[in-house]
Amino acid sequence: MNMNMNNMNPNQQNQQNQNNPQMHQNMQTGSVPPKFNHGGHEVFDVKEVLTGAIGTLDLYTMCKQYVKDPELQDILQRQYQFILDEYNITLECFQTGKDPSKPTQSYQMKQGNDFIFGLKPTQPTKPVQSQNEINDASASGFMLSSLKSMASAKTLAALESTNPVVRRVLADSIPNCIEMAYELSIYQNKHHYYQVPQMNTNDVQQIMNSFAPVQGNNQMLQ
């Protein structure tokens, strides 16, 4: 019968550690096995990342029944599968502390990168009152908001991670969240669900020219 370490008294734990040479050596040197090579902040933040990924996957599953546009259906399916793979990769390296069995991939969107600028008159938006009101516009908006939250959570977790593998996996996955969110924002913009206002040319030019490159060498640092 296996004995739970949490249920042992201190003397039993010490005896158990002495019977396990590797664990005893790790306690003497201050090192820990890769499986437990995580700082406290990292554990809580990665937990938020994994929980958020599950929430995003559940949201995509719920939105699927309301999506009518074949283009958005394709985006939803491709992004769902990619998020699911990244969830499994993150979970694996978090639980083992080692390189995952599958490397992180780079998400490739199918959309172009042309935005339609300017505002056109539209009907005011308001919260839906029934499920029948959920459409492609609202579903794509739900998906976009969830991806933005994932990008923020992964950035925070990567900055707090002490385990080098977890940090790298999180850092590599942040651009994928950005790319998927960008794909959805372009989709929304193309269908006039998300309009992008633009400043006048003179104001933009003035701001762009309000900075100048630095001339010189590194003498100050020397």
Lookup result for tokens 């309009």: 195
Question: Over the stretch 100-141, which tens digit does the pLDDT of each residue have?
Answer: 998 889 999 887 888 888 888 888 888 888 988 899 999 999
SS (H, E, C) 62-105: HHHCCCCCHHHHHHHHHHHHHHHHHHHHHHHHHHHCCCCCCCCC
Q: What is the CATH number of the domain that holds 95?
A: 1.20.1260.10
pLDDT in tens, 167-216: 999 999 999 999 999 999 999 999 999 988 988 999 999 999 999 988 87
* pLDDT tens-digit series, residues 141-150: 999 999 999 9
pLDDT at 3: 45
Mean pLDDT, the chain, integer: 84
Structural domain tally of the chain? 1
Supply the pLDDT for residue 179. 96
Note the residue count of the chain: 222
What distances in angstroms separate CA 172 from CA 94, 165, 167, 169, 208, one per listed residue? Answer: 15, 11, 9, 5, 30
Domain span at residue 65 reads 37-105+135-191
Residue 39 pLDDT level (bands cut at 50, 70, 90): low
Residue 124 forms part of a structural domain:
no
- What mean pLDDT is predicted for residues 9-14? 52
Higher pLDDT, 4 or 150: 150
> Does 4 fall in a domain?
no
Question: Is the pLDDT assigned to residue 75 strictly greater than 90?
Answer: yes
User: Is residue 218 situated within a structural domain?
Assistant: no
pLDDT over threshold 50, residue 29:
no
Asked, for residue 28, whether it belongs to a domain, the answer is no
Residue 169 belongs to a domain: yes
Which tops the pLDDT comparison, 97 or 75? Answer: 75
